[in-house]
Chain A
Amino acid sequence: MTKGMLRKMRPTFIYALLGIIFMLAAPSVLQLFTIINLTTAIALSVLALSLALIWGYGGILCFGQVAFFGLGAYVYTISAINFGGSTWAILVAIIVTSAFASALGYFIFYGRVSDVYLGVITLTVTLIFFSLIRRTSGPEYKIGNALLGGFNGVSSPPINLPWNSASFLFPEQVFYVAMAALIICYVFVGWLVNTKFGRVCVAIRENELRAELLGYDIRAYKLGIFTIGAGIAAVGGVLFCNGVGRITPDIFNLYNAALTIIWVIVGGRGTLIGPIGATFALFYVTSALGGQSVFNNNLVLGIILIIFVLLVPKGVAPTIIGWASARRKKSQRRVRRRRRAEGTR
């Protein structure tokens, strides 16, 4: 890593450090119930991180990011049941999901399908999964030893220590794993967007034609970032089915697809910490709303989305950063002016 890159990644490291502190402190401060809930929120924020990468940096508006999330969860569950342990299952989940995404992405990017049409195709894929898996309720639908279970879904075996399938992790330990996975993914993505690859992706987001005229094969770059994003979403999926304990086809529904988009737009495109923070915030908003019946969940989410699109289109994190840097510039200007005034005196 060069020095310049280290300097650029300084905020990433700071947030990662805060994350580590949180990870170590949380179990001794919070109740077990909150910790288990947090694991789910962490899994969802990995999903948000993956969309933040491919939409915020790659400019690929994927409506079906949740398809990779759900696919990862299903592949993990099925292979963990069949292998009798989670070590290989996690790897298989990530590899299968990435392979699926690269096949789909090849179709999309080499066909030069763009913006809205891309959204439609990815959403369609999500809905295909939804209706396919919903149908698999009979005993004849099984992969190896794993019954797919249709609407009821499959219960997921918990993560165990590597190569030791007898030692299941307890919810508290799963929390450590999830938090560590989130931090690793976050630092990885933070590093990726500062590499040459990541910067070319940003260039493509800004102006596809210009990037192509400069000699970059935009199809390959888009396919690359799309596949990586899907792999990260699969990590989220693995964590999710561990946090919840089962996986159902409902993960593929329109509401969840919308929710993913909302996290990223509320948190802010072009940042990584924004969508993660937004996921945690909205997760707690929706679970608080679940406890009361005056306001419908959909109603509140709809209002949040509309308000953000109309009034804060950049999202929370970029807006705050914009304010902060504007204030800093202002105070710098004031200092400079004062110095100049003192100089002339």
Chain B
Amino acid sequence: MDLIVAVLFQLIYVISNLALISLGLAIIFGMMRVINLAHGEFLMLGGYTVVVATNAGINIWISMLILAPLIVGVIGVVVERLLIRWLYGRMVDTLLATWGLSLLLVGIVTSLFGASTGTTVSPPLGVLRIGEYSASGYEFFLIIVTILLLFGVWLTLRFTKLGLLARGTMQNAEMASALGVSTSNIYMITFGLGAAVSGLAGGLLAPITGVLPTIGATYIAKAFITVISGGAAILAGTTAGSILLGGINGIFSFIAGSTFGEIALLLAAIILLRLMPRGITGRFFRKSL
């Protein structure tokens, strides 16, 4: 019984981890049809923000939950104004430009902080006991945060004015701008919010994974695959994609070790895209958010 609970906990953690690292990318992709290959670097910047802020003596909770999303969100807005806005509607070009951005950010961070960081932060919160097994309390915290974050995004999209305008712009940008919505501003805000969510995710993961300039590369493939497998709907897609792929990853990791878990995840994504070229939400839950 305890073993089942412990394994289940681990499975849920893997799933929510995948959802956490993908959500920012999903917001930007779902809203703007922009695939942001610098997403991994946004996560990396969030992580660096936490490490630098904590070492400067700021409370770790403040630096994780407030500073990381704030700073990366501002960076996102700057990037959108300088780079992305020239490329709307040119999907392949945005892909390439953001790839360039990702290399650029890795380069800048490496020049500033060096290729490796000695200083890390240790995860707060202690150990959680499940019968004779123990789980990390911080992992439990991450699961809760992920659920709250998904819920928060849903609330924003569903019930606020900004959410309404964003959804309108997403469905038909020309019509929205004819009705007096500044689509350019909406895109800027959406990109900033997506970046902020990525920054938050990166900040939250920093105590577990540590920070490195090149750490984005380990996230980007997984996040990218989850979002594409999920399809265009932001929340339903991310959730469905992470449950399916995270579940497969978790189960195979449990059976055959973590590398095989990752390979199973990637293979599952390939097969999924062969069967459903537009992702899960391209076929099911089409009307969802």
Contacts and interface: CB of A to CB of B under 8 A. Distances in A.
Contacts of B100: 301-306, 309
B107 A297 contact: yes
A302 B277 contact: no
Contact of B220 (A125, A254, A304, A305): A254
A161 B262 CA distance: 42
A124 B100 CA distance: 19
Most buried by A among B99, B101, B274: B99
A131 interface: yes
Contacts of A299: 103-104, 106-108, 110-111
29 contacts: A111-B277, A113-B273, A113-B274, A115-B91, A116-B95, A116-B228, A119-B95, A120-B224, A120-B269, A121-B270, A123-B224, A124-B225, A127-B266, A131-B263, A134-B259, A254-B221, A258-B103, A261-B99, A265-B96, A296-B107, A298-B107, A299-B110, A300-B107, A301-B107, A302-B100, A302-B101, A302-B104, A302-B106, A309-B87
A296 to B, nearest CB: 4
B242 to A, nearest CB: 16
B103 A125 contact: no
A263 to B, nearest CB: 12
Given A116-B35, A116-B228, A309 B104 contact: no
A107 interface: yes
Contacts of A333: none
B86 interface: yes
Nearest to A112: B277
Contacts of A107: 270, 274
B101 A306 contact: yes
A147 to B, nearest CB: 18
Interface of B: 35, 83, 86-87, 91-93, 95-97, 99-108, 110-111, 217, 220-221, 224-225, 228, 259, 262-263, 266-267, 269-270, 273-275, 277
A58 to B, nearest CB: 14
B277 A113 contact: yes
Most buried by B among A114, A134, A301: A301
Classify chain A's interface size.
Answer: 35 or more
B217 A254 contact: yes
B83 A306 contact: yes
A135 interface: yes
A117 B92 CA distance: 11
A199 B104 CA distance: 37
Interface in A78-129: 107-108, 111-117, 119-121, 123-125, 127-128
Interface in A281-313: 295-306, 309-310, 313
A254 B221 CA distance: 9
Contacts of A306: 83, 97, 100-101, 104
A309 B82 CA distance: 13
A119 B110 CA distance: 27
Contacts of A184: none
A303 B263 CA distance: 32
Interface string A247-258: 000000110001
Given A114-B277, A117-B273, A124-B266, A309 B107 contact: no
Contacts of A301: 100, 103, 107
Most buried by A among B91, B96, B263: B96
A111 B259 CA distance: 28
B263 A124 contact: no
A143 interface: no
Interface in A114-163: 114-117, 119-121, 123-125, 127-128, 131-132, 134-135
A61 interface: yes
Given A115-B91, A299-B107, A124 B102 contact: no
B132 to A, nearest CB: 31
Given A135-B259, A254-B220, A310-B83, A305 B225 contact: no
A117 B91 CA distance: 11
Most buried by A among B86, B93, B270: B270
A133 to B, nearest CB: 11
B102 A302 contact: yes
A124 B269 CA distance: 9
B219 to A, nearest CB: 11
A116 B96 contact: no
B106 A298 contact: yes
Contacts of B35: 116
Contacts of B228: 116-117, 120
A322 to B, nearest CB: 18
A313 B97 CA distance: 10
B44 to A, nearest CB: 12
A308 B95 CA distance: 13
Given A119-B95, A258-B103, A303-B100, A128 B83 contact: no
B104 A303 contact: yes
A115 B92 contact: yes
Contacts of B274: 107-108, 111, 113
Contacts of A254: 217, 220-221
Nearest to A134: B259
Given A107-B270, A117-B277, A131-B263, A124 B221 contact: yes
Contacts of A305: 96-97, 99-100, 103
Most buried by A among B100, B105, B269: B100
Contacts of B97: 305-306, 309-310
